[in-house]
Amino acid sequence: MKMLHAETFQPRDATDVRDFVRESASHRAPLRISAGGSWLDAGYPVTPCTVLDISALRGIVEYNPGDLTLTAGSGTTLAEIEAATAEHGQWLPLDPFGDGRSTLGATLATASSGPLAASSGLPRDIALGVEFVDGTGATARGGGRVVKNVAGFDLVRLLVGSWGSLGVITEATVRLRARPECDVTFALAAPAGAESLAQLLRAFRDAPLAALGAELVDHRLAQRLGVGDRALVLARLAGNADSVAAQRGTLQSLGDVMPVESTVWGRLRTCEPQGTWTLRVSRRPSALAELWQVAASTTATLETAGLHATIERGIVRLIAQAPHAPSLAAITTTLATAGTVVGERLPPGCWTVLVAPVDRLSLGVRKAFDPQALLNPGILGGAA
């Protein structure tokens, strides 16, 4: 393995990772898992420690387009996977916020998703297998390389979203989808009043649409995305030509519709420069309009902030710029009374507002897989 400088180790392969974790475990030396580096500022603040940089665990291990599955090292970037699969008219339907440098390992470990989750599922639904090294240095594999698998207890779901606190993911297999024949985006004007917005969202969810994604975007974000200066619903319609034509008609029956370049989704993904604060707040989808109003009024004075919401999942996401940090603790507190807040990137003072999982099962799995709490110490708050 390669030592970059005093505090970063860069293993060449999974065996290196195992050896290094074992070595660290014998010295009770904590480790910060990193690859692309784009997630290092996310999650609860981690106690500073030696960085285990797994970016060299990179490359597609197996990809047979006919099976719509792909196995890759965890340091493989989403951009690499996108390029390899696009050639065959396929994609990995995961579009977490950030750029294409995000790695497969980090996306799964943080269970990060974007607008596509509304139709294609969360990382937990897309991951088929993982190989990882736990905090004791044991190498384990969960799941497999096929699309359906119930053999053994589910280590895949356990590792996905565990933020590295149960093991270092070294390789993963994911399910791919064929890219739709047509993929077009329309903007639907969103009314300002709470009741009329609730009506629109209800009608949208009930309408016969097969949207790949549908996000409610506030006026501030709309401006930044270059799609006007009013709140709107961005609807990404997909299917064959007949289906999309019919869906467009359905959308027009709901309000004023205008076509938007599909590149808007890429802009939404990457409109957060380094140092941006982000959090999500959610309830049942039927409560979205209400939640949206709370989020909008709480953040109204933050001119450079922005809100968007995944209509199908009932999740509002706040994007706030660095200078907003002083107001964020109060905002987080208010939002936490309106729904469940999940912090992505927050200034230190905000984390104390959130409730970290400290239940018996959370503490128990951490102890079972990383008894010395060496991996990403502190990243899950209470449990870790």
Q: Which residues in 293-332 contact other proteins (CB under 8 A)?
A: 314-315
Residue 154, interface with other proteins (CB under 8 A)? Answer: yes
Residue 230, interface with other proteins (CB under 8 A)? Answer: no
C-alpha 365/C-alpha 379 separation (Å) is 15
Q: Report the nearest approach of other proteins to the CB of residue 340 (Å).
A: 5
Binding mask 249-288 for other proteins (x = CB under 8 A): -------------------------------xxxxxxx--
C-alpha 319/C-alpha 336 separation (Å) is 16
Residues 5-64 that bind other proteins (CB under 8 A): 64
Q: Which stretch binds other proteins (CB under 8 A): 23-31, 79-87, 296-304, 362-370?
A: 362-370
Residue 203, interface with other proteins (CB under 8 A)? Answer: no
- The neighbour count for residue 302, using CB atoms within 10 Å, is 19
Q: Which stretch binds other proteins (CB under 8 A): 28-36, 45-53, 203-211, 265-273?
A: 203-211
Residues 172-191 that bind other proteins (CB under 8 A): 177-181
Q: Report the nearest approach of other proteins to the CB of residue 313 (Å).
A: 8
Longest dimension (CA), the chain: 65
C-alpha 213/C-alpha 271 separation (Å) is 17
Q: Tell me the number of residues near other proteins by CB under 8 A.
A: 81
CB nearer to other proteins: pick between 67 and 303: 67
Q: Report the nearest approach of other proteins to the CB of residue 5 (Å).
A: 32
Q: Report the nearest approach of other proteins to the CB of residue 30 (Å).
A: 20
Which of 26, 240, 263, 352 forms a contact with other proteins (CB under 8 A)? Answer: 240
Non-local CB neighbours of 196 within 8 Å, separated by 6+ positions: none
Buried b / exposed e along 43-72 (16+ C-beta atoms within 10 A): bbebeebbbbbbbbbbeeeebeeeebbbbb
Residues 81-100 that bind other proteins (CB under 8 A): 89
Closest CA to 201 of 227, 193, 242: 193
Q: Report the nearest approach of other proteins to the CB of residue 365 (Å).
A: 5
Cβ atoms of 298 and 318 within 8 Å: the answer is no
Q: Report the nearest approach of other proteins to the CB of residue 281 (Å).
A: 8
DSSP β-bridge partners for residue 239 = 182
- The neighbour count for residue 338, using CB atoms within 10 Å, is 19
Q: Which stretch binds other proteins (CB under 8 A): 48-56, 251-259, 263-271, 360-368?
A: 360-368
C-alpha 241/C-alpha 323 separation (Å) is 46
CB nearer to other proteins: pick between 49 and 342: 342
CB nearer to other proteins: pick between 84 and 166: 166
306 φ, ψ (degrees, to nearest 5): -160, 155
Residue 357, interface with other proteins (CB under 8 A)? Answer: yes
Burial class (CB in 10 A: 0-12, 13-18, 19+), 313: middle
Which of 141, 219, 224, 230 forms a contact with other proteins (CB under 8 A)? Answer: 141
Which of 40, 79, 189, 246 forms a contact with other proteins (CB under 8 A)? Answer: 246
Q: Which stretch binds other proteins (CB under 8 A): 1-9, 102-110, 243-251, 260-268?
A: 243-251
DSSP β-bridge partners for residue 30 = none
Q: Would you call 312 helix, strand, or coil by DSSP?
A: coil
CB nearer to other proteins: pick between 225 and 379: 379
Binding mask 112-131 for other proteins (x = CB under 8 A): ---------x--xx------
C-alpha 258/C-alpha 276 separation (Å) is 30
Rounded CA Rg of the chain: 21
Per DSSP, which regions of 27-89 are E strands? 31-34, 50-53, 60-64, 69-73
CB nearer to other proteins: pick between 3 and 150: 150
Cβ atoms of 374 and 29 within 8 Å: the answer is yes
Q: How many residues does the chain have?
A: 384
CB nearer to other proteins: pick between 51 and 109: 109
CB nearer to other proteins: pick between 101 and 145: 145
